[in-house]
A = this chain, B = another copy of it.
Amino acid sequence: MATLHFEQLFDPESQSLTYLIGDLDAGVCALCDPVREQLERDLGRIDALGLELIHTLETHLHADHVTSGNALAERRGSRPVLSKRSQVSCEALRVGHGERFAVGGLVITALETPGHTPESLSFQLENRVLTGDALLIGTCGRTDFQGGDPGQLFDSVHAHLFTLPDETWIFPAHDYRGRTSSTIGVEKRENARLAGRDRDAFIALMNGLGLPRPIRMDEALPANLRCGKPEPQA
């Protein structure tokens, strides 16, 4: 038995969505994609609920914000959950496709959904899936840096996300228009990049986007490779 507490948190600067997933019966929780600047706010929610933070989950190596995974591990003893394919150096539970882990009585399944980055994961929990930057509301993550691959993203979405029941809720890592959720059924029908487009057409579209470089990339990538740990001083 478990009583799910599922809460979204938004970071306006990076337009990131963080998720608090708790089991109120067991008194434990996890944070998915926590943002360093929002650490005190996030701990405030966890403490208000009286929960113990046991895991931080990372859908991928973020290029636009620094994770609070390391700081939370130091302050609360939470253990990061990362992809087996991740090159992050910190101590973590490393999961592969279809592997499960528990947050109290809740069971979360890791799905490998590479393409935005090679180590991108989605996390499935009951009728919800946290899609990171693989599948966004009406769109998808870019595939033009950090080892991105549009063909691989197309395959990930079609093999592991669009095969979920239509009524499954999608909770992405970002939205740039203040939206917070969608469903598999809506995205299959309406996603501006993916709906009604075959693999070759999707690859051509993604390769032609010409997006600017993320402004915080040079800071965020090296920091996130250390789970957000401060740089060692020489």
CB distance from A29 to the nearest CB of B (A): 13
* With A8-B8, A10-B10, A12-B12 as contacts: A179 and B45 at CB distance below 8 Å: yes
Query: Is A52 interfacial (CB-CB < 8 Å)?
Result: no
Number of this chain's copies in the assembly equals 2
Contact B180 A7 (CB under 8 A): yes
CB distance from A8 to the nearest CB of B (A): 5
Contact B49 A181 (CB under 8 A): no
| Docked complex: A46-103 residues within 8 A CB-CB of B | 48-49
Q: How far is the CA of A48 from the CA of B10 in the complex (A)?
A: 23
Query: Is A11 interfacial (CB-CB < 8 Å)?
Result: yes
Contact A179 B48 (CB under 8 A): no
Q: Which chain B residues lie closer than 8 Å to A48 at the CB level?
A: 138, 182, 186, 189-190
Query: Is A213 interfacial (CB-CB < 8 Å)?
Result: no
Q: Which chain B residues lie closer than 8 Å to A190 at the CB level?
A: 48
Q: How far is the CA of A182 from the CA of B9 in the complex (A)?
A: 11
Contact A179 B49 (CB under 8 A): no
A binding-site residues for B, Cβ under 8 Å: 3, 5, 7-12, 38, 41, 44-45, 48-49, 138, 167, 177-183, 186, 189-190
